[in-house]
A and B are shown apart, each in its own frame.
Chain A
Amino acid sequence: MKYKFTVTGLDCPNCAAKLADLIAKKDGIDSAKINFLTEKITVESTLDEKALLDVLNVAAKKFDKAVKIEK
């Protein structure tokens, strides 16, 4: 399934790309792309929405605690 969430609190497009790379490596996630300007993250995943959001936020917090990913 393809999901799209809002991601806020990122510093710069470079960090956005790094976070996307990190997220893409997580279990259950096939691909992840972050658009820094529109503040959207597109994730392909086999997880359901709630589980996925948890995984994303844990990864994001570890990367930079200001980052938030929401529906």
Chain B
Amino acid sequence: MKKIIDFLCSELGRFVIGAVFFINALAFDIKQFSVVSLILYICALATSGFSVYVDAIKGLLRRDFLDEKFLMSIASIGAMIIGEYTEGVAVMLFFLLGELFEHKAVTSSRKRIKSLLDICPDEATVVRDGEETVVDADEVEVGDTVIIKAGDRVPVDAIVLSGFADADTSAITGESVPRAVSPGSHIESGSIIIGGALVCRAEKCASESSAVRILEMIENANENKAKEENFITAFSRVYTPIVVGLAILIAIIPPAFGLTEWSDSVYRALIFLVISCPCALVISVPMAFFAGIGSAASRGILYKGGNSFSPVAKTKTVAFDKTGTLTVGEFSVIGVLANTIPEDELLEYASAIEQYSNHPIARSIVKKRSSSLAALDVKELAGRGSVGIVNGKSIVVGNVLLMSDLGVNLPKEALLSDNSLVFVSIDKNFVGAIEISDKIKNEARNAIKMLRKVGVSRTLVLSGDKKSRAESIGAELGIDEIKSELLPEDKYDLLKREIDKNKGKVMYVGDGINDAPALALADVGVAMGAVGSDSAIESADLVIMSDNLERLPEAIIIARRTLRIAKQNIVFALGVKIAIMILSAFGIANMWLAVFADVGVAVLAILNSMRNLIGGRADK
């Protein structure tokens, strides 16, 4: 019974009851208009419009005379008074029907976007007092031992203590290739563990972990409004008063000059009231951006706000930081030069010394050749290299500075390389140079090509690295201009010059670790691979969660598509409203057509916005 009452009170229920009365009224009306049909019309209007009238009265109590429900009430009652019974009821029925559709469309869009972002786990398994217990993800504390089984979502940012598995980070980074994790790896909340179980230590609580922070960023992005959104909000504030004003003029002026009948012009004025509701306008543009932000986020591209879309879409020049952006930021040994002892022996000596260092270059040597030799008295000299004793011999591993300090002579052929070099000497005799390279990202070349395809006309590298190395990378990737051996302040100045030349169109892409000023300066600052870096997220306009460069052209495509959809929605929503106003001013449109067109426009604008979620990746 309660269910039936609930249904009858719902929008759909009111629509059905109203429609039943309406059909009966029409049936009587067709034979001959009578008091019976009039009563049925009134019943239809009263049942379908009841809540609208209640809200209208509430609006009046707030002295809100431009309340849409109030205007709709006037329109329907006004139509009854001038004898347009069918229209009066139809307008209310269609209004209800339209609202129903609109709610459905909004709710399902919200759901679709939320499901894209459903990355926060609810529960976590932790070890407390020696026992595994399932707790809310919010209750996990820093330092807790967390157990993550295959198929589980990582509840908080954590470090792996034991176990091997793959982490599917697609929810966070948009990357579909899983990452192997082992003891010592950091894992981000929201990732899914596959093919193994892990024991981890919580490094952050849930609310400070990646997944929640990403969601917060997306939510906040919806608060930073784009120009188009502000325009439509400002416009909608004046739209209703203007249309109501026009309605009054239409009702009074033509009949006053004897051009039309009073009842005709009142009817036309009522149509104006019907389309005076700004909702279709107000929803059309934010919906487009909402969908754009959601669609980008599902690919690991985080817009900081609706206001970032326009500069991204306009990008013509892209300046890249080199290390960690175009290159993987991990060094690797590619060979040995001018060696006087066998390559393997040389690497083994170097590795014996370098295993005590945490420098990325030292680690790359150890990775290439681990050493079983014992080293004594190892000393690390910052910015130069390391020294120590192996097998009773004095070994030095370091750069040119260290070698010349220690009086080691370097043969000329040992200096001929575009790559970074590490020299090795035994008892002050040079024995060879290790060539180290910072590997170019696999997708970098393709990403640059794709950027050109989407209309980027100029690419630059701003690098602190030595000239030959930066230039060889630039040539390999097909980048237009290479600026090398730059100090951080030089990068800033060069970027500033680019912006002066090409205002509003310059994008800077960096890893956000030491280039926050450049990120902030550029028209669009893009921080790559910035899951954890607060300073990067702070100063960037666009954050790419993975370090995949192919996301850049995608971000541009999404920005353009979003803006295009937003503009289509503005033109469409406004266009239809203006068309109906013109038609009704000349007496061509009727009321229920107006109301249906009005809410229909809102529904179409919502559906149009949802196209952004279906649209494919840039490479498809």
| CB proximity of B150 to chain A, nearest CB, Å | 33
B219→A13 contact, CB < 8 A:
no
Chain B residues closer than 8 Å to A47, beta-carbon distance? none
**With contacts A11-B99, A14-B236, A39-B110 known, is A33 near B283, CB below 8 A?**
no
Chain A residues closer than 8 Å to B110, beta-carbon distance? 37, 39
B62→A22 contact, CB < 8 A:
yes
**With contacts A33-B223, A37-B290, A38-B222 known, is A12 near B283, CB below 8 A?**
yes
| CB proximity of A6 to chain B, nearest CB, Å | 11
A1 to B38, CA, bound (A): 57
When the two chains form the complex, which single residue of B219, B222, B282, B290 contacts A12, counting CB atoms closer than 8 Å? B282
Chain A residues closer than 8 Å to B283, beta-carbon distance? 12-13, 36
**With contacts A37-B287, A37-B290, A39-B110 known, is A14 near B222, CB below 8 A?**
no
Chain B residues closer than 8 Å to A12, beta-carbon distance? 102, 279, 282-283
Residue among A12, A36, A39 facing the most chain B CB atoms (10 A cut-off): A12
Question: B68 at interface (Cβ–Cβ under 8 A)?
Answer: yes
Specify the chain A residue showing the minimal Cβ separation from B67: A18
B279→A13 contact, CB < 8 A:
yes
**With contacts A40-B219, A63-B58 known, is A18 near B64, CB below 8 A?**
yes
Question: B55 at interface (Cβ–Cβ under 8 A)?
Answer: yes
B278→A14 contact, CB < 8 A:
yes
Taken residue by residue from 7 to 49, chain A's Cβ proximity to chain B (1 for < 8 Å, 0 otherwise) reads as 0000111100110001000000000010111111010000000
A71 to B62, CA, bound (A): 27
B68→A14 contact, CB < 8 A:
yes
Question: B146 at interface (Cβ–Cβ under 8 A)?
Answer: no
A39 to B222, CA, bound (A): 11
Chain B residues closer than 8 Å to A39, beta-carbon distance? 110
Q: Which of B140-161 contact A (CB under 8 A)?
A: none
A13→B286 contact, CB < 8 A:
yes
Chain A residues closer than 8 Å to B222, beta-carbon distance? 35, 37-38
Taken residue by residue from 575 to 594, chain B's Cβ proximity to chain A (1 for < 8 Å, 0 otherwise) reads as 00000000000000000000
Further pairs besides A17-B233, A36-B283, A38-B219: 10, Cβ < 8 Å: A11-B99, A12-B102, A13-B283, A14-B236, A14-B279, A18-B64, A37-B110, A63-B58, A64-B55, A64-B58
The 10 closest A-B pairs by CB, nearest first: A13-B282, A12-B279, A37-B290, A14-B279, A14-B282, A13-B283, A38-B222, A38-B219, A35-B222, A14-B278
Which A residues are closer than 8 A to B by beta carbons?
Answer: 11-14, 17-18, 22, 33, 35-40, 42, 62-64
Which B residues are closer than 8 A to A by beta carbons?
Answer: 55, 58, 62, 64, 67-68, 99, 102-103, 106, 110, 219, 222-223, 233, 236, 277-279, 282-283, 286-287, 290
Q: List 12 A-B contacts (CB under 8 A).
A: A11-B103, A12-B279, A14-B277, A17-B233, A35-B222, A35-B223, A36-B283, A37-B106, A37-B110, A37-B287, A63-B58, A64-B58
